[in-house]
């Protein structure tokens, strides 16, 4: 990449002669400015805008971002085209970072109260730091964050350890089942990369990987490549909800909740019985399983349990086994059951039957973190661990709790009474940007810098198959209020505050120092295969900041030979909480799902995130409940009717959204709504589905089985129009004999009409009749060599 004189001088500090080389760069030289604007004045007027590279340590997947800054203010967030994880794309909720940065309800100063019964009042940072230091001077300390990789996670864990306390990460839906299954099958401590782009067949279970699961931007980019390949890839998806991934699949297997593992083993049964796997592949799969165990998973038996027709199971298995390379993976609701670990282990074990590990188009194991001491993996502590920890809080055995990025009160089921547990802790210190349900219980609430104002690193999980580290830098300085009378928020860095309180015991006093030291360590390794090379450490640091990270495509993960243990132990049938004592209503299984824009509620305070339409219902600004048309009809419920959803824990209300694509016997409700605190755009908006989750747990890990709650659904008699983008005209079946106008690619409707390109309903009734038509029909020419979409 050619450097301009201006960039050369900036990179060299206007003093050192040298050259920075960027390997495989995709960013035009005029787009990224290397120097951080953290020290620039707010009113600086530039003749052009500037783009700064950074990462969001709280985002799923570790995406690289660039931020457009004009006159000292951040204006736009976009994907970093040079970053190997997301390749220039970004999630819709990343845009919400701008609104969180300039949020009118952002906490402007530290807030303090002496007791939980008092009112939070503003105080100075000097006093707040004194109060914090006094509270931390105890041996009974717990530090809580969201799952963090990179230096922020390292600081939080080391700080708790240094103080003799305990560290716990909290995530409402990812609590170790996925990581446990990956460890069981692949003996890997970090999540692998799925080479979706080069697969011919993708078989996924439960994980809505095109919307919100693990690394949706990376998976979306690879999905685009899969579909645009010369041999168009085929996607099979098994899930108990019609999600964005299910709707995008060629073949959707609408499983009954909790039967995903059974379907996976039925696929394995077909592969073995029909000789679609080699002798070596079969031996690798069956060597640790009890003899004859797969006989319990014959397709006919599994069809009866799962609700998936046997023909669809057979079709999925034959495609998966014969059209290789193939890759199988799962997560989300598939692992959120009492036997979730079994289900995910069964799903990932399928890769052994198609030689899908370590090969193109399959599962690629990731290497360890490129930075010594930094974890490349993070997940939430199990629900069982949280039950034990909150019991200690309620018993008065913990003096101080420090919380950052984890809304425990909103994200925990009501069975554990998280609010009451916090009220039993004398010192509750919470860092955040906008008040949330957990911060409302703080004795000391501290305004935290957003990731656009702070330093840090992130190890993406999953990595792209080779060592990668993202670098986070401030893209703006202190934010001036709209009326220019002062700072919008006198915020501090969570990492900086812990390092200060540690008194230098962690080897640094600021996050910036840790970031610079990491860049220096990478430079000293002198890797010629790294994405940035430079003649001295100063230029190397500047180069990593400009590109938003560093990666080494030659530092790949290990190869592996399989000898996984027996994962089929005891009962594997789905289990749900009882509904027998819940009174009137129809019995359904509750299927919570992560919101496409709100995530699990992290972005609920941002109006942009609230107004983004759901990919399937197009609903916004409200909590809706997805019901099967027939289930809704049985209780005389139509769209807009408000319904009760009752579990053994409690009940919520939601606006009914009946739809024929919703599997019978289920009710889907988005996660992320129902905050009592959260700023003017989140407070009191809908109800919180997580609050009524039953305390069912995965038998292996103790994780919350959040998809295993039985509920009663009942009509309230009230109505409210569901805010959504789609119309209300219902589709109806085409009657036999009715002509259907079929428009070919590049053809207008008028041209198709003139050419009389009509097909008739009877021609679409079966594969046999389609075969009789021949390959010259308009329908075949449109659908391509694979025929009609399932």
Residue 650: name the closest of 437, 336, 414 by CA.
414
Structure tokens at 416: 């554990």
Angle formed at CA 264 by CA 301 and CA 223, multiple of 5 degrees: 140
Contact status, residue 649 vs residue 692, Cβ threshold 8 Å:
yes
Structure tokens at 292: 């004859």
d(CA 577, CA 338): 10
The pTM assigned to this predicted structure is: 0.88
CA 217 to chain centre: 9
Contact status, residue 548 vs residue 471, Cβ threshold 8 Å:
yes
Residue 549: name the closest of 168, 223, 109, 149 by CA.
149
Collapsed DSSP state (helix, strand, coil) of residue 237: strand
Structure tokens at 459: 């190890």
Whole-angstrom CA distances from 595 to 95, 489, 670, 735 are 15, 28, 6, 37
For the chain, residues with pLDDT lower than 50 are 1-18, 25-31, 33-35, 39, 41-43, 761-765, 769-790
d(CA 302, CA 296): 8
Indicate the pairing of strand 651-659 with strand 624-628. parallel
Q: Is the peptide bond before 713 cis (omega within 30 degrees of 0)?
A: no
Torsion angles phi and psi, residue 322, rounded to 5: -100, -25
With b meaning 16 or more CB within 10 Å and e meaning fewer, what string describes 342-352?
A: bbbbbbbbbbb
Per DSSP, what are the bridge partners of residue 480?
Answer: 487
d(CA 769, CA 333): 38
Torsion angles phi and psi, residue 319, rounded to 5: -65, -45
First to last CA, the chain: 46
Per DSSP, what are the bridge partners of residue 53?
Answer: 66
Angle formed at CA 452 by CA 451 and CA 453, multiple of 5 degrees: 90
d(CA 69, CA 54): 13
Query: How is residue 106 annotated by DSSP?
Result: B
Environment class of 785 (CB within 10 Å of its CB; exposed 0-12, middle 13-18, buried 19+) = exposed
Q: In what order do the strands lie in the sheet with 326-330?
A: 251-253, 234-238, 201-205, 326-330
d(CA 346, CA 146): 28
d(CA 452, CA 624): 33
d(CA 407, CA 391): 18
Interacting residues of 731 by C-beta distance below 8 A, sequence separation 6+:
none
Collapsed DSSP state (helix, strand, coil) of residue 610: helix
Indicate the pairing of strand 50-55 with strand 64-70. antiparallel
Residue 471: name the closest of 494, 486, 454 by CA.
454
d(CA 350, CA 630): 35
Q: Is the peptide bond before 135 cis (omega within 30 degrees of 0)?
A: no
Q: What pLDDT, on a 0 to 100 scale, did the predictor assign at position 310?
A: 97
Report the largest interatomic distance among the alpha carbons of the chain, rounded to a whole angstrom: 83
Interacting residues of 576 by C-beta distance below 8 A, sequence separation 6+:
257, 258, 589, 696, 708, 709, 710
Contact status, residue 675 vs residue 603, Cβ threshold 8 Å:
no
Q: Report pLDDT digits (tens) over 664-694.
A: 999 999 999 999 999 999 999 999 999 999 9
Contact status, residue 50 vs residue 69, Cβ threshold 8 Å:
yes
Contact status, residue 476 vs residue 452, Cβ threshold 8 Å:
yes
Structure tokens at 304: 């009866």
Taken as a whole, the chain contains a residue count of: 790
**In 10 A of CB 108, how many CB atoms?**
15
The percent of the chain in helix, strand and coil, each rounded to the nearest 5, is 30, 20, 50
Half-sphere exposure of 673 (CA within 13 A, CB side): 24
d(CA 531, CA 553): 8
What interhelical angle do 537-547 and 511-524 show, nearest 10?
110
């Amino acid at each position: 990449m050619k450097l301009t004189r201006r960039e050369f001088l900036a990179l060299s500090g206007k003093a050192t002669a040298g050259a920075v080389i960027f390997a495989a760069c995709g960013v035009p030289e005029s787009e990224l400015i290397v120097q951080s604007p953290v020290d620039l004045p707010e009113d600086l007027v530039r003749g052009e805008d500037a783009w700064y590279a950074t990462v969001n340590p709280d985002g799923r997947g570790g995406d690289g971002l660039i931020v457009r800054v004009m006159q000292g203010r951040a204006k736009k967030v976009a994907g970093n085209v040079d970053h190997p994880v997301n390749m220039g794309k970004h999630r819709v909720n990343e845009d919400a970072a701008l609104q969180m940065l300039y949020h009118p309800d952002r906490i402007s100063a530290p807030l303090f109260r002496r007791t939980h019964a008092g009112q939070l009042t503003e105080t100075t940072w000097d006093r707040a730091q004194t109060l914090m230091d006094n509270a931390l001077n105890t041996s009974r300390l717990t530090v809580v964050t969201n799952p963090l990789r990179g230096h922020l996670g390292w600081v939080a864990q080391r700080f708790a350890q240094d103080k003799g306390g305990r560290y716990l990460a909290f995530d409402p839906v990812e609590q170790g089942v996925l990581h446990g299954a990956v460890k069981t099958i692949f003996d890997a401590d970090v999540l692998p990369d799925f080479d979706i782009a080069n697969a011919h067949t993708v078989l996924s279970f439960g994980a809505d990987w095109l919307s919100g699961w693990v690394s949706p931007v990376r998976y979306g980019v690879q999905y685009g490549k899969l579909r645009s390949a010369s041999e168009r890839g085929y996607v099979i998806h098994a899930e108990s909800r019609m999600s964005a991934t299910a709707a995008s699949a060629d073949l959707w297997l609408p499983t009954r909740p909790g039967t995903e593992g059974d379907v996976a083993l039925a696929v394995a049964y077909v592969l073995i019985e029909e000789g679609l796997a080699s002798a070596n592949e079969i031996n690798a799969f069956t060597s640790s399983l009890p003899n004859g165990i797969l006989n319990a998973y014959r397709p006919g038996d599994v069809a009866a349990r799962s609700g998936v027709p046997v023909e669809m199971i057979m079709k999925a298995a034959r495609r998966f086994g014969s059209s290789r390379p193939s890759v199988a993976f799962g997560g989300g609701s598939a692992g959120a059951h009492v036997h979730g670990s079994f289900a995910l282990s069964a799903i990932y074990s399928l890769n052994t039957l198609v030689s899908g590990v370590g090969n193109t188009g399959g599962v690629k194991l990731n290497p360890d973190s490129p930075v010594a001491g930094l974890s490349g993996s993070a997940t939430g502590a199990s629900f069982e661990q949280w039950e034990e920890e909150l019991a200690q809080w309620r018993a008065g055995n913990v003096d101080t709790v420090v919380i950052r990025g984890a809304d425990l009160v909103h994200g925990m089921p009501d069975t554990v009474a998280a609010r009451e547990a916090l009220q039993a802790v004398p010192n509750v210190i919470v860092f955040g940007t906008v008040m949330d349900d957990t911060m409302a219980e703080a004795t000391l609430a501290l305004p935290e810098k957003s990731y656009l104002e702070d330093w840090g690193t992130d190890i993406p999980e999953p990595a792209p198959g080779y060592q990668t580290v993202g670098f986070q830098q401030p893209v703006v300085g202190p934010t001036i209020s709209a009326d220019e009378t002062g700072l919008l928020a006198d915020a501090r860095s969570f990492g900086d505050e812990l390092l200060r309180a540690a008194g230098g015991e962690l080897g640094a006093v600021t996050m910036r120092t840790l970031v610079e030291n990491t860049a220096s360590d990478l430079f000293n390794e002198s890797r010629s295969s790294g994405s940035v090379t430079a003649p001295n450490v100063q230029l190397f640091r500047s180069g990593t900041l400009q590109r938003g990270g560093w990666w080494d495509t030659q530092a790949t993960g290990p190869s592996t030979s399989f000898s996984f243990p027996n994962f089929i132990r005891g009962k594997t049938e789905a289990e749900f909480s009882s509904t027998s004592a819940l009174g009137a209503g129809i019995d359904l299984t509750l299927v919570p799902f992560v919101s496409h824009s709100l995530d699990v509620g992290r972005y609920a305070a941002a109006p942009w995130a609230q107004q983004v339409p759901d990919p399937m219902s197009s609903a916004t600004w409200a909590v809706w409940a997805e019901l099967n048309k027939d289930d809704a009809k049985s209780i005389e419920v139509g769209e807009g009717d408000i319904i009760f959803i009752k579990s053994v824990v409690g009940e919520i209300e939601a606006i009914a959204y009946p739809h024929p694509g919703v599997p019978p016997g289920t009710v889907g409700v988005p996660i992320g709504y129902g905050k009592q605190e959260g700023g003017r755009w989140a407070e009191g908006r809908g109800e919180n589905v997580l609050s009524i989750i039953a305390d069912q747990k995965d038998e292996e890990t103790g994780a919350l089985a959040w998809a295993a709650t039985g509920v009663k659904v009942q009509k309230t008699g009230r109505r409210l129009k569901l805010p959504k983008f789609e119309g209300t005209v219902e589709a109806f079946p085409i009657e036999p004999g009715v002509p259907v106008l079929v428009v070919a690619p590049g053809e207008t409707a008028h041209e198709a009409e003139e050419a009389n390109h009509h097909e008739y309903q009877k021609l679409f009734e079966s594969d046999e009749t389609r075969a009789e038509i021949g390959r010259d029909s308009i329908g075949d020419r449109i659908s391509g060599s694979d025929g009609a979409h399932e």
